Amino acid sequence: MAAELESEGKYSVDRMIIQIKSGKLALHNNSVVLIDEAGKMHRDQAYELFELTKNTGAKIILVGDTRQMSAVRAGDPLDLVAKANPAAEIRAIRRQKIDWMREASMNAQAGAMDKMLAAYGEHGKIAIADKKADCVREVAAAWKKADGDAVALAATNSDVTAINA
């Protein structure tokens, strides 16, 4: 079943709406629609998805963090649903395996970004550069040193070109 979900069950919200409207995806009373990163879903998407599923008996589960950045478009349905209904909260950090990283994640979850950033700084995981050229050089060096075990993100195509040089 997990393999089936992995290969066939992944949709973007927009794709799911299109699939339901076209009849290619039929939901019923045993269907469970899990929306991961539901905080990124905007009001219009949520409304349309809820309308399309309300008479099917399908269950909708929204997973996300109401304190993370919300959708670019209008509305924050995850926050509205969380305020109106009981919500489960994750209290144990499983992704980070190192104690200080777990503590830093808990600080970030609590909104103490200064403590989280300080922890990463104390462990040499944050570098600050005064000039953009220095920053690009440091990112490129760290990325090359990681030898395929890291991802470098850049704001512009010219920054990507500079990192890849």
Show the tokens assigned to 82: 């969380």
Judgement on whether residues 9 and 68 belong to the same structural domain of the protein? yes
Around Cβ 96, how many Cβ atoms within 10 Å? 13
Judgement on whether residues 31 and 80 belong to the same structural domain of the protein? yes
Judgement on whether residues 43 and 114 belong to the same structural domain of the protein? no
Which structural domain range is residue 117 located in? 90-125
Q: In this structure, are residues 21 and 51 in contact, taking their beta carbons and an 8 Å threshold?
A: no
pLDDT for position 4: 46
Q: Which residues of the chain have pLDDT under 70?
A: 1-10, 66-75, 83-84, 87-90
pLDDT for position 81: 73
Judgement on whether residues 33 and 75 belong to the same structural domain of the protein? yes
pLDDT for position 116: 92
pLDDT for position 21: 93
Q: In this structure, are residues 48 and 81 in contact, taking their beta carbons and an 8 Å threshold?
A: no
pLDDT for position 27: 92
Judgement on whether residues 118 and 137 belong to the same structural domain of the protein? no
Q: In this structure, are residues 94 and 59 in contact, taking their beta carbons and an 8 Å threshold?
A: no
Largest separation between any pair of C-alpha atoms in the chain = 58
Judgement on whether residues 73 and 98 belong to the same structural domain of the protein? no
Judgement on whether residues 9 and 79 belong to the same structural domain of the protein? yes
| Residue carrying the six token digits 């944050």 | 126
Show the tokens assigned to 108: 């970030």
Judgement on whether residues 49 and 60 belong to the same structural domain of the protein? yes
Please name every residue paired with 32 in a beta bridge, in sequence order, or none if there are none.
59
What angle in degrees, to the nearest 10, is found between the helix axes of 43-53 and 77-84?
A: 60
